[in-house]
Amino acid sequence: MERTRYLETVHRVVVKIGTHVLTGDEGGLSTTVFDTIVNQVIQLSEMGKEVVLVSSGAIAAGRTLLEPTHPNTSIPEKQALAAIGQTQLMGMYQRALDRHGRRAAQVLLTRDDLSHRRRYLNARNTLFKLLQFSVIPIVNENDTVMVEEIKFGDNDSLSARVTILVDADLLVLLTDAPGLCAWTDEGKPEQNPIPFVKEVTPELRDLAKGPSDPLGTGGMATKIEAARIATEAGHAAVIADGRLPSVITGILQGEPIGTFFAPLKDRLTHKKHWIAYSLQKKGELVLDEGAVQAIVHRGKSLLSSGVVEVRGRFDNGEMVVCLDENGTEWARGITNYSSQEIREIAGRKSSEIESVLGYRLRDELIHRDELVVMTKGSGVGGQGSG
């Protein structure tokens, strides 16, 4: 897909802003940067486009306010710093928006919020209503209550899920790098980013080297993963240098800024988006070749006769991934039977389910309406992230 032509059609965009974009040389939040970002958001709004911001920076802001004496902050201390810094973060966004007579809205989300269908829909409806009110949503991970996200996670992953949540056309990931860069023989990133990525491959992931930063939680690896999640769900993504003065408006105007990731396929229905990218994986089903062909190429439901192995423990109504016998993931879906039930009926015809179990809930283990075919080789998502 040609970059400029796609960007001309963008109406709704999610912009993720990394900690290093928001902080100055001394590590504190920069008023100038907030003004620059907000000015661009307002320009896009005046062009009839809708913008949702996913903003890091709360922990860095809290650290600056308290001036801790040691750099190796514990998880509880990071949670406290996030609670303290979040108020300053929102205050700086609101002061920048005050100059334009606009309002900001704080939206704190957790992965758990997006894995429960009702809460997922509530968050989606709230964000749509805020956009309808011409309010700028500022989304952040609820670090105060989420331990794993602070320790291992990032707002990059959250921004990809928000892109799917609000059905945005584009995800922009702003960082302190010019984009996705190849590496020199000396182990340094090249100055010019890779301009276009058709598909996120294992080789491409190898370009994302280097540790995450103590102020933030991500790195280039998490940005590539976020781009993969977005593009596999049918949304485009760009990784770019957020310190450029007009980076957001420039990207939307088709300028060759950063690295553009093309969407891999047409967008799924919203329910299938939720199944594939918001639910946590609870188990795995290994399928024979006939079952893989039926669900991938003929759009069929998954039947018990095609299952050769059940991995993990799960209840009916939970999300499982479907693998071939080589371990490649082909689909994700909501199962109608528990892991124990499937172990008893695996390899048997649907007509035999009742005689084996004493009852039959459905003919299908996973109905095609709740089964999502994934990109080959996308990997198995440990937390519903791909």
Residue 384 pLDDT greater than 50, yes or no: no
Question: pTM above the 0.85 mark?
Answer: no
Residue 185 pLDDT greater than 90, yes or no: no
- 266 versus 193: the higher-pLDDT residue is 193
Buried b or exposed e, range 196-208, using 16+ CB within 10 angstroms? ebeebeeebeeee
Say how far apart CA 109 and CA 158 lie, in whole Å: 8
DSSP letters of 18-78?
-HHHHB-TTSSBPHHHHHHHHHHHHHHHHTT-EEEEEE--HHHHHHHHH--S-S---HHHH
Average pLDDT over every residue of 107-121: 86
pLDDT digits (tens, 9 = 90+) for 242-258: 999 899 999 999 999 99
- At 215, is the secondary structure helix, strand, or coil? coil
Query: What's the token pair of residue 126?
Result: 């709230």
Say how far apart CA 240 and CA 173 lie, in whole Å: 6
Mean pLDDT check: name the lowest of 21-25, 98-102, 378-382. 378-382
Which candidate, 260, 151, 256, places its Cα nearest to that of 212?
151
Say how far apart CA 301 and CA 333 lie, in whole Å: 10
Residue 366 pLDDT greater than 50, yes or no: yes
pLDDT digits (tens, 9 = 90+) for 209-221: 544 444 444 578 8
Q: What is the pLDDT of residue 169?
A: 95
List domains and CATH numbers for the chain.
3-271 (3.40.1160.10), 279-373 (2.30.130.10)
pLDDT digits (tens, 9 = 90+) for 76-111: 787 888 888 899 999 999 999 999 999 999 999 987
Say how far apart CA 383 and CA 235 lie, in whole Å: 20
Average pLDDT over every residue of 115-144: 90
- 85 versus 259: the higher-pLDDT residue is 259
Q: What is the pLDDT of residue 305?
A: 97
